[in-house]
Each structure stands twice: as C-alpha cells, then as structure tokens.
C-alpha cells in the first residue's frame, strides 16, 4: 500500500478529495500524516476529523529550516509527498531526498499562469484578465523550480466571457478533485515512467 504525506496551507479541499477516494475504495493508499505550514487552517481539522496524524510546521517560526523539519517527519515513513495547496517552497535537499516522489497540483494549464507568486485566486484572476478560452489544472512532479517539474496530467475547462475569477476557480476545483486522486492511483499502481521532462503513463 502506498503511504503518502499530504502538505496543505489552507482549506484542504484536495486533501478531502484524497480522503474520499480512499474511503470509497478508489485509492489503495494510506495518508500517514498531514502537514501544514500555517496554524489554524481547516485542512488540519479535516485530517483530525478522520484520525490522521497532523503536524504544524509554522513557516513563521521555522523559516529557513522548514524543509529540514518536514524531512525529519517524512523521510523513511512515506512513499509519496502530495502538495495539495501547499504554499511554502521545499529546498533542494528535500527534493533530492524525494526525487520524483513529490507531486503538486496547480490551478492552471502549466506553463501558463504559474511560477513565483502565482497561486490560488491570483491564477484565475490572470486567466480571466488575459481572456483565455480554456484553463484547467496540472499535476506535476516537483523539482527545484516553481511549477517547473515534469507534467504528469492535465485537465481542461472552458473559460466563458462572463466568468469571474471566483467562478473559474470553482470550475477548476471540481477537476482538481478528480485529477489528483487519479494521479495518485497511477503512482500507486506503478503506471508512471519518467523520461526527462516526459512522463509516460503505462
């Protein structure tokens, strides 16, 4: 069984999608722990409700040592790190220890509307402002850059002229909640092969 750690910084709706997928039998994996970089977020409450072990590694307290603290909690205990709305940047040492074992979900079709300071509602504001006809979400491996790792899977949604950033965000979120469990399932079934920047689904 695939053992995962889910890292969150906010409401935790993607965490809930993973929990629901495990409970329904769709995913054969276990959430060993949920880690937050902020105090008082609902993502941690979602985990506590389900009896999942939780840790808060507050970025205001740990600052430059945040990655090493999370590494202490996860190394040797989980097979996969899932960033589900996690806003802190993990350092090179952490990424090297979990090379091709860290995935992130981003609310756009990378390489559009991604990179430093592009997260949450800001991504959808930019998509609406730019006038794109399609947006969506991307699950990718995490490397040393910001949203620059190899793309595993994407899901596309239409963008309508009357859309606000909030409306678009909700439409994309529905797809995020499907796509993230799908990718975790592929990894659990060892159906993903990485060849440079190309990710091949077997």
- Rounded distance between C-alpha atoms, residue 175 and residue 95, angstroms: 27
CB 136 within 8 A of CB 157: yes
- Rounded distance between C-alpha atoms, residue 200 and residue 191, angstroms: 8
106 is catalytic: yes
- According to DSSP H, which parts of the chain are helical? 13-23, 42-49, 59-62, 66-74, 92-97, 121-130, 165-188
| Catalytic residue selected from 106, 124, 140, 177 | 106
Strands 134-141, 151-158: pairing kind:
antiparallel
Beta bridge partners of 161: none
CB 198 within 8 A of CB 153: no
Reduce the DSSP state of residue 172 to 3 states and report it. Answer: helix
Q: What residues are labeled active site?
A: 106
């Amino acid at each position: 069984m695939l053992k995962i750690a889910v890292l969150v910084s906010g409401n935790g709706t993607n965490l809930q999608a993973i929990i629901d997928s495990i409970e329904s039998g769709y995913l054969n994996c276990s959430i060993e722990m949920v880690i937050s970089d902020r105090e008082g977020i609902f993502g941690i409450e979602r985990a506590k409700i389900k009896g999942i072990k939780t840790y808060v590694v507050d970025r205001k307290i740990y600052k430059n040592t945040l990655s090493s603290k999370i590494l202490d909690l996860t190394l040797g205990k989980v097979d996969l790190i899932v960033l589900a709305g996690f806003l802190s940047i993990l350092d090179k040492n952490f990424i090297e220890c979990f090379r091709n074992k860290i995935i992130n979900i981003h609310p756009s079709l990378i390489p559009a509307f991604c990179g430093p300071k592009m997260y949450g509602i800001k991504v959808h504001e930019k998509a609406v402002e730019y006038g794109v006809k399609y947006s969506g979400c991307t699950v990718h491996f995490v490397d040393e850059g910001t949203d620059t790792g190899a793309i595993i899977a994407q899901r596309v949604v239409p963008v309508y002229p009357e859309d606000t950033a909030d409306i678009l965000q909700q439409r994309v979120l529905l797809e995020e909640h499907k796509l993230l469990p799908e990718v975790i399932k592929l990894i659990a079934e060892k159906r993903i092969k990485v060849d440079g920047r190309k990710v091949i689904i077997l």
